Amino acid sequence: MGSYCGGWWWRTGLWAAVVLAAAAVVAGGNVTYDGRSLIIDGERKVLFSGSIHYPRSTPKMWESLIGKAKEGGIDVIETYVFWNLHEPKPGQYDFSGRNDLVKFIKEVQAQGLYACLRIGPFIESEWTYGGLPFWLHDVPDIVYRTDNEPFKKYMQNFVTKIVDMMKAESLYASQGGPIILSQVENEYGNVEAAFQEEGKAYVEWAAKMAVDLQTGVPWVMCKQPDAPDPVINSCNGMRCGETFAGPNSPSKPALWTENWTSFLQRYGEETYLRSAQDIAFHTLLFIIAKNGSFVNYYMYHGGTNFGRSGAAYMVTQYYDQAPLDEYGLIREPKWSHLKEMHAAVKSCSSTLLNGVQTNISLGQLQQV
């Protein structure tokens, strides 16, 4: 490691190399993975990602937002897909204006970044109805997010619609496009137990349904410890370097799909302030303690809950304390501090991804 690399890690109180996990590589077109990292075109990657939601900004903002994220050392732009915006009535779709998902992903591609598409289609995201269309209420015998045939029918229709759109525009990495990851469902592990055996069956179905769409890139399920192979289980939270139990298979890498840069805010509540130093420390802890190789900041730009799109009691400013504020202006010191940290990690990436971890005690509460 060079002096810049070593100096930065010592200043943050962290210094390590990590274990190279011996595991079979899982095929996925130009994107594969093993127990250490995603592998893109045969190369291991440490990837920093930032969530920017296309409907929470305007198309005129997208180029600037993505450009500032790139300048800040971001490699991947992550976004949810908003079912209730795109299918306001059954079988009637809207991908215009702020809903133009294809245009957004193509802007990511134009700036040389990767994309992570979190299709859900239940997304939560402090969004009205969690992204589910309200017309689902009118479907006879429907029960949401469980082993229920009416729900599964409409969910599969929408997920297939999005995947087919991305394929038609050659936007998956397997086609030469920027999308290297897709997500199905969202934090279902929080509620799975309430559905008992039907919940488990639903997880199995959702994973198989997604994989069978043959995108050529891996799928993830966040906060889903029992994500079926080959779907990767990932962590959400502020301290995944402490809380993440790890991948549920030695052949899967450690991914952090939501590193919260602030926190959701309801009317009447105080703004949650998370320091740049705390974000950087826990990011590095995840990379070291959990052999992490993919960290997504949720949000990198929160933007605006326009109209009545926010969930109950949510303010219109969404994650305004992110590295880019509601208007897309750089918020310091978060943006610059994280940019410096990204550069330091990248300068060490070969050692991090291929080195052997050694821990040496320096005394009480200190180790190298």
Hey, which residues are catalytic here? 187, 258
How many other CB atoms sit within 10 Å of the CB of residue 22? 10
* Packing angle, helices 59-71 and 101-110, rounded to 10: 30
Q: Which two tokens stand for residue 154?
A: 């409409």
Query: Cis omega (within 30 of 0) on the bond before 225?
Result: no
The CA distance from 207 to 224, in Å, is 11
CB proximity list for 8: less than 8 A, separation 6 or greater: 340, 341, 344
Helices 196-211/149-168 angle, 10° precision: 20
Report which residue type is found at 71: E
Q: Reduced to 3 DSSP states, what percent helix, strand and coil does the chain have, rounded to the nearest 5? A: 35, 20, 40
Beta-strand ranges (E) seen in the chain are 31-33, 38-40, 43-44, 47-52, 76-80, 114-120, 179-184, 219-222, 232-237, 254-260, 292-301, 361-363, 366-367
State phi, psi for 58 to the nearest 5 degrees: -110, 155
The SS3 call for residue 266 is strand
CB 76 within 8 A of CB 117: no
Amino acid at 6: G
192: CB partners within 8 A, 6+ apart: 199, 200, 202, 203, 224, 226
